[in-house]
C-alpha cells in the first residue's frame, strides 16, 4: 500500500494537472467566442453573394459556366476527386480529428483517384504516419481562421479545377452545433448546381437584364468569392467544433481529476488516522510501562517497616 508521502505527492500532481486542464478549457472558450464573432461579421456579405447568384439565375436559367458544369457519374473510375480535409493542429480534442479523418478515408475507399489537401498538422501527421498520399506542399494551419487564408486555399483549389486536374472538389469539415459534439460532413464544393441557389430569386420580376460583358464572365467574378466565403465558414465552423470538443475533453479531465483527489484525500486521511492511532497506542503503552517501573514494591515496604 502506498505511504502517506507518496499519496501526498500524487495529490499535488493531480492538482497541478487540473490547473492545466482548467486553463485549457478557458482558453478554448475564449478562442471559440472570438471565432464566432468574426464569422458573424462576415456572414452577411457572403449570404448576399448567394442571393445575387440566385438573382442571376432568375435572368439566365441556363448556363455553361465551368463552375456549374456537369461531371461524369461517380461510379466511373476516370473521375479525379479532390478533398479539402480540415483537422486540428493538435490533439486533446476528443474524437474531433478521428471523425473527420474517418469520413475522408471512407471517401478515399470509394474513389481511389483522390487528391487530399489537408488543413491542420494533426491530419498531415496522421496521413504521413499511415503512409497515405496527400498534397505535401499544401501547408495551412487550422488555428485562428482568417479570410486571407481562405482566399489562398480557394485560389489553389480553383487552379487544380481550372486546369482539369480535378473533376470534383469536396470539403470535409466539422459542423458546429453549440454545446453538442460537432458532426463531420462532406460537402461538394465544385462543380456547383443551380438548385443550390434556386431559393434566392423570390420576388424577382420577369424583366430582362443585360450583363456586360456576358453572364458567364459575371459568374466567373462572383463564384470564387462565394467559394472563398464558404471555405472560410467551414474553417470557422471546424475551429469552433475543435474548441468545443477540447472544452468537453478538458471538463471531463477536470471532473476525473476531482474524483481522483477525493479518493486520494480519503486514502491519505485514513493513513494519517492510522498513524496517529499507532502513535497514541505507543504513547499509552509507554506511560503504562513507566508507571509499572516506578510503582513501589509492597514486599520491600513491609521489610523496611520491620
- pLDDT of residue 116 exceeding 90, the answer is yes
Give the three-state DSSP class for 84: strand
Spell out the residues 6+ positions from residue 290 whose beta carbon is closer than 8 angstroms to its own: none
Q: Which of 67-71, 240-244, 282-286 has the highest mean pLDDT?
A: 240-244
Burial (0-12, 13-18, 19+ Cβ within 10 Å), 140: buried
Q: Tell me, what's the pLDDT at 74?
A: 54
- pLDDT of residue 303 exceeding 80, the answer is no
pLDDT in tens, 31-47: 888 888 877 777 787 77
- pLDDT of residue 165 exceeding 60, the answer is yes
pLDDT in tens, 210-241: 666 777 777 888 888 889 988 998 998 899 88
Phi and psi torsions of 115, nearest 5°: -105, 125
Q: Tell me, what's the pLDDT at 201?
A: 47
**What are the angstrom distances between the C-alpha of 249 and each of 125, 208, 210?**
21, 57, 56
Residue 229: CA count within 13 A, CB half-sphere: 16
- Residue 32 contacts residue 175 (beta carbons within 8 Å): no
Domain 15-247 has CATH 3.40.1380.10: yes
pLDDT in tens, 184-212: 999 998 888 877 776 544 455 556 666 66
Q: How far is residue 303's CA from residue 306's CA, in Å, rounded to a whole number?
A: 5
Q: How far is residue 271's CA from residue 279's CA, in Å, rounded to a whole number?
A: 12
Q: What is the domain partition of the chain in residue ranges?
A: 4-14+255-293, 15-247
- The band of 180, judged by pLDDT with boundaries at 50, 70 and 90, is confident
Q: Tell me, what's the pLDDT at 148?
A: 92
Spell out the residues 6+ positions from residue 45 whose beta carbon is closer than 8 angstroms to its own: 229
What mean pLDDT is predicted for residues 270-292? 81
Please give the share of the chain, as a percent, with pLDDT higher than 70: 86
Q: Tell me, what's the pLDDT at 160?
A: 92
Lowest mean pLDDT among 8-22, 64-78, 152-166, 209-223: 64-78
What is the gyration radius of the CA atoms in the chain, in angstroms?
A: 34
Long-range contacts of 32-35 (CB under 8 A, 24+ apart): 32/239, 32/240, 32/243, 32/244, 32/247, 35/144, 35/145, 35/236, 35/239, 35/240, 35/243
pLDDT in tens, 63-76: 777 888 665 555 55
Q: Tell me, what's the pLDDT at 211?
A: 67
Amino acid at each position: 500500500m502506498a505511504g502517506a508521502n507518496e499519496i501526498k505527492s500524487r495529490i499535488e500532481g493531480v492538482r497541478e494537472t487540473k490547473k492545466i486542464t482548467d486553463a485549457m478549457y478557458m482558453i478554448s472558450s475564449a478562442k471559440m467566442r472570438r471565432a464566432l464573432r468574426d464569422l458573424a461579421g462576415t456572414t452577411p456579405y457572403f449570404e448576399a453573394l448567394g442571393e445575387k447568384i440566385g438573382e442571376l439565375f432568375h435572368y439566365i436559367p441556363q448556363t455553361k459556366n465551368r463552375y456549374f458544369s456537369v461531371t461524369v457519374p461517380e461510379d466511373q473510375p476516370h473521375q479525379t476527386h479532390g478533398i479539402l480535409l480540415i483537422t486540428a493542429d493538435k490533439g486533446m480534442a476528443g474524437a474531433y480529428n478521428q471523425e473527420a479523418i474517418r469520413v475522408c478515408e471512407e471517401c478515399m475507399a470509394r474513389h481511389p483517384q483522390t487528391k487530399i489537401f489537408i488543413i491542420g498538422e494533426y491530419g498531415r501527421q496522421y496521413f504521413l504516419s499511415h503512409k497515405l498520399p496527400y498534397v505535401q506542399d499544401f501547408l495551412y494551419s487550422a488555428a485562428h481562421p482568417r479570410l486571407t487564408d481562405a482566399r489562398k486555399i480557394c485560389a489553389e483549389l480553383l487552379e487544380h479545377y481550372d486546369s482539369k486536374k480535378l473533376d470534383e472538389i469536396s470539403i470535409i469539415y466539422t459542423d458546429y452545433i453549440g454545446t453538442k459534439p460537432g458532426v463531420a460532413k462532406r460537402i461538394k464544393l465544385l462543380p456547383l448546381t443551380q438548385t443550390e441557389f434556386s431559393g434566392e430569386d423570390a420576388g424577382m420580376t420577369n424583366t430582362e437584364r443585360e450583363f456586360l460583358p456576358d453572364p458567364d464572365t459575371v459568374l466567373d467574378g462572383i463564384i470564387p468569392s462565394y467559394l472563398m466565403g464558404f471555405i472560410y465558414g467551414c474553417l470557422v465552423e471546424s475551429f469552433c467544433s475543435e474548441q468545443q470538443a477540447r472544452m468537453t475533453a478538458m471538463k471531463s479531465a477536470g471532473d476525473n481529476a476531482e474524483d481522483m483527489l477525493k479518493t486520494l484525500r480519503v486514502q491519505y486521511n485514513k493513513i494519517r488516522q492510522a498513524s496517529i492511532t499507532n502513535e497514541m497506542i505507543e504513547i499509552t503503552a509507554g506511560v503504562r510501562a513507566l508507571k509499572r517501573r516506578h510503582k513501589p514494591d509492597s514486599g520491600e515496604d513491609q521489610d523496611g517497616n520491620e
